[in-house]
Amino acid sequence: MPTPSLLCFGELLLRLGAPGRQTFLQTPAFDVHVGGAEANVAVSLARFGDPVGMASVVADNALGLHAKGELRRHGVDTARVRAAPGRMGLYFLETGAGHRPSDVLYDRANSAFTLDTQYDWARCLDGVAWLHMSGVTPALSQACADAAVAAAEAAVAAGVQVSFDGNFRAKLWQAWESDPPAVLRRLMSSATLLFADHRDMGVVLGVECDADAIEDKVVQAARHAFSAFPHARYLACTQRRQHDVDHHELSAMLVERDGTVHATPRHALNNVVDRIGGGDAFAAGVLHGLLNGQAPGDALAFGLGAACLKHSIHGDFNLARVADVEHFLGEEGFHVRR
């Protein structure tokens, strides 16, 4: 397998979901999927045909080997995924219905990933052009926060561009004596591409974007980000309107350091199958576009198309191919493709 052009760093998880739209343990069974924010990005990029790898630690047992095997099955280079003593991180999902929202319960403390945080970043990043991380990893523990900062700083020193998704998870940060703004500032200061919006800048920089329109809030957030983070060239995010758990509207924006603003039309998402991983699908789509020389506006459109399609796919992974996204963006209708 060729050296990956992009490396994702984060924890592989097992998702245990209540079947269908049932509440937790309404039926004593769970549907099991492999996931994790960064792993979702890796799988999506591999499905798009991009050489991508994963750096992580899984439990040295059947569950860990299965998770690693799932990435490899979809074409992700797992040479930098090692097995170590410990357990797999888990999360439980109760999918909402109507006006009952979905609910997530985390069970990730003392996983193999959080206990073994030593990486040879010079070796891991050798030949890599981009490193992708998210705010989930540093939220797990002080050791994971230190590992994430070490990865980002090693990438900058090696000339590797960093992509960082804010992915603020309050439940995880609150489980230990953490300082989210301080940690996230260090990580965002290394990033070329930020997946973040005005809410992230509020958490990280303590600034308030006081515009009325959401689009103007995003532009203000981008200005704050570019002022605070010297490496940042792009800030991208989605905007979601929810009528109920099955009916959403999704659009996206990308702001460049020079002030250029790209915005997409809003797409209606009816009969949502699974929204988990939609943000990761968006990140993967934007990264795919930039990796393959697309103009920022075209990369944004591709990212939104990928995110929209993810809402029709069960599980954490976006299984869409490039042709599927292009078909969606081409608005060729819903006829059976024969």
Which of the residues are catalytic?
Answer: 280
Give CA–CA dist 210/151, Å, rounded: 34
DSSP states of 234-292? EEEEEEEEEEETTEEEEEEEEEETTS-EEEPPPEEEES-S--TTHHHHHHHHHHHHHHT
Tokens of 40: 């979702």
Q: Give CB contacts under 8 A, 24+ apart, made by 301-305.
A: 301/264, 301/329, 302/329, 303/236, 303/252, 304/238, 304/250, 304/251, 304/252, 304/264, 304/267, 305/329
Query: What residues does 258 pair with on adjacent strands?
Result: none
For the chain, the farthest-separated pair of C-alpha atoms sits apart, in whole angstroms, at: 56
Q: What is the dihedral of CA 272, 34, 236, 268, to 10 degrees?
A: -10
Beta-bridge mates of residue 241: 249
**What does the block give as tokens for 146?**
């230190």
Collapsing DSSP to helix, strand or coil, 54 comes out as strand
Q: Is 315 left (phi over 0), alpha (psi -120 to 50) or beta?
A: left
CB contact at 8 A, 39 and 80 = no
The secondary structure element, H or E, covering residue 83 is strand 77-84
Q: How far is CA 262 from CA 34, 94, 257, 305, in A?
A: 33, 35, 12, 15
**DSSP letter for each residue of 297-324:** HHHHHHHHHHHHHHTTSSSSS----HHH
Residue 124 to residue 135: CA distance in whole angstroms: 20
> How far apart, in whole angstroms, are the C-alpha atoms of residue 255 and residue 216?
11
